Chains A and B, each alone.
Chain A
Amino acid sequence: MSTSIEVRTKKRIGEGWLLGKMVAFLAGALMSASVLAVEIGETAPSFTIESLNSDETVSLGDFKGKVVILDFWASWCGPCLVAMPKLSALSDALPKERAALVAVSVDTNPKRALRFMKKMGATYDSLIDPSGEVAAMYNLPGMPTTFVIDQDGKVAARLVGFKPGDEAELEREVASLYDK
């Protein structure tokens, strides 16, 4: 009699475990759907994080009134490194009083990120988000992800990934916002 009870209990646990896994799967699917990436038209979440190249801390709010190219990158991301020289040229060409490039590295090792910036000859500074908090706030859909944020802090464009030629598209998007 105790054996049959054990068997019933095991079966119940087995069924419960299977059901639990199915619920976890559905919950996971729903959860990932519910935390959406920051979309065009939304206000870009504000943040304050440290600079990679100096001891400063920088906030997104420091750039209010300017068009901001917010680029999330990492040293382990191939397309990010391809983008770097092109973003350098783009950054150099931006009118400093009207626009700014704000790069944020999600590397967990700041030294590694700095080493790659030097190796790729980046002419701009970057911020560092080693815990991934800012990346999570923006719920980046991929790496790299670049947002174009207008003078009022709203997302005007979003670019996921980077292919040669994307820098021209970014430049056009930024220029179109100057007359807003």
Chain B
Amino acid sequence: MAGSGQQVVVVGVTKKVSPHRQSRNPVKPKRPGQALLSLSAAAMALPAFAVNQPTETEVAVKSSYYEEDPIRASEEVVVFGDPERYTIKVNQFYLLKPIGANWSLTFDYANESMSGASPWGAVADDEGNQQLIMSGASIDDSRNKVEGTVTRYLPESAWSVTLGGSREHDYRSDYLGLAWIQEYNLKNTTLAIDASYASDELTPTDASDFGRIEQADKTSRSLAISISQILSRSQVAQVGYGVTKRSGFLADPYKLRDVRPDQRLEHRVSLGYLQYFEPWGARLKAEYRYFWDSFDIKAHTTSVSLFKSLGQDWDVEPRLRWYEQSEASFFALGDRYDLPLTVAQSSDARLSSFGAWSTGFSINYTRDVMKVGLSYDRYVSEPSAGIGSPSGHRALMRYELLSLGVRFRL
């Protein structure tokens, strides 16, 4: 942490930022193993990945617009660079097709294009007031992700294999996932085991100009187990545990000073509950996750959503999410140039202590084989609402996400 009479050096970047230079897109795999999340999310999010083969072909497309609030553009907060944050457009395509009597195939494609600025570094005075050094100008970048899953269905079980990859000009990620589901107790109890492996390669742009590493690798390995139990005709509960090991270059190569351990072990325990209220045509979903890792970060995530039918064709789903985390053991509010490069430190806001509220809703219209949905979410970070003492980071995120999607079941 800054203080103790250290000499603080402000790095002024004078070289013009060229287009396609930096890829600080929050929605793309710049963070270690982010592609692994895509894999995990997609593989585990497949509605067809139940033990039963889907009976219909499903096609879905979705377009989303994401915009971050700008950082307060005062000299007190931004000492250099563009206070404007990211805007991202995402287009997604999804296909699920039953094949024969016992197989199904899923194909998933996403394209993201982004522009904006993000923090390169930070300085902090003795009172713990932080000032940010932002990237110099708006950056444009794009990412493409492709993923395919093959599922084989057996009488009371199913297994699947997923292969995927994502590409952008300075980042490559390839991943493999295996999953197994087994049903017990007249299909009232379901056990699911997922294993995945991701291999990423970073080739930061303008590496020699800015003294960055020219090439680095990292790998992620994950294992998760979950049990879902039907409690009654209208209630389901789920409990799960997952572990992830990340190895290799885990730092952010675009930060002015960011040194992280070359291993990270993460754990998560999750609980979920679904309840349907027949008289009202409404469904409550509640989920909780406790996360802890070898960076000393702990986090609680709680989310609640309420689904409500409005007549035969319409439905709405308001939702609420609360997140809080503690800071990493090596988090530094201001970059420490007095420390050698062998000592871990990072001023990355995502490793600081903060809390965040997210509110949103979806509204859907279903007619025959088609369903159209619009959703909106607002995410607001609160630096003082994290676990433990507040870190006081000033680049915490606030954003809006708007999506429009269409799904066909044929």
Contact = CB atoms under 8 A, between A and B. Distances in A.
Interface residues of B, number: 8
B55 interface: yes
Nearest to B188: A32
A30 B187 CA distance: 16
Interface in A63-121: 78-79, 81-82
Interface string A28-60: 010010000000000000000000000000000
B101 interface: yes
B186 A79 contact: no
A163 B54 contact: no
A164 B54 CA distance: 13
Contacts of A82: 55
A32 B52 CA distance: 22
B55 A81 contact: yes
Interface in B70-106: 101
A143 B52 CA distance: 11
A164 B186 contact: no
Nearest to B368: A119
B55 A79 contact: yes
Contacts, number: 15
Which of B54, B55, B56, B185 has most A Cβ within 10 Å? B55
B53 to A, nearest CB: 8
Nearest to A28: B185
Interface in B33-64: 52, 54-56
A164 B53 CA distance: 12
Contact of B101 (A29, A78, A165): A165
A67 B55 CA distance: 29
Nearest to A162: B55
B230 to A, nearest CB: 13
Contacts of B101: 163-165
Interface residues of A, number: 10
A78 B186 contact: no
Nearest to A79: B55
A151 B259 CA distance: 80
Which of A81, A142, A165 has most B Cβ within 10 Å? A142
A29 B187 CA distance: 13
Contact of B55 (A32, A78, A142, A165): A78
Contacts of B55: 78-79, 81-82
Interface string B180-200: 000001110000000000000
A87 to B, nearest CB: 15
Contacts of B186: 32
Contacts of B185: 29, 32
A163 B56 CA distance: 13
Contacts of A165: 101
A82 B185 CA distance: 26
B237 to A, nearest CB: 15
A163 B54 CA distance: 11
A142 B54 CA distance: 16
Interface in B177-224: 185-187
Contacts of B56: 78
Contacts of A142: 187
B58 to A, nearest CB: 12
Contacts of A78: 52, 54-56
Contacts of A32: 185-186
Contacts of B187: 142
Interface string A163-180: 111000000000000000
Interface in B142-195: 185-187
B157 to A, nearest CB: 14
Nearest to B101: A163
Which of B54, B101, B187 has most A Cβ within 10 Å? B101
A164 B52 CA distance: 14
A42 B56 CA distance: 35
Given A29-B185, A82-B55, A163-B101, 12 more contacts: A32-B185, A32-B186, A78-B52, A78-B54, A78-B55, A78-B56, A79-B52, A79-B55, A81-B55, A142-B187, A164-B101, A165-B101
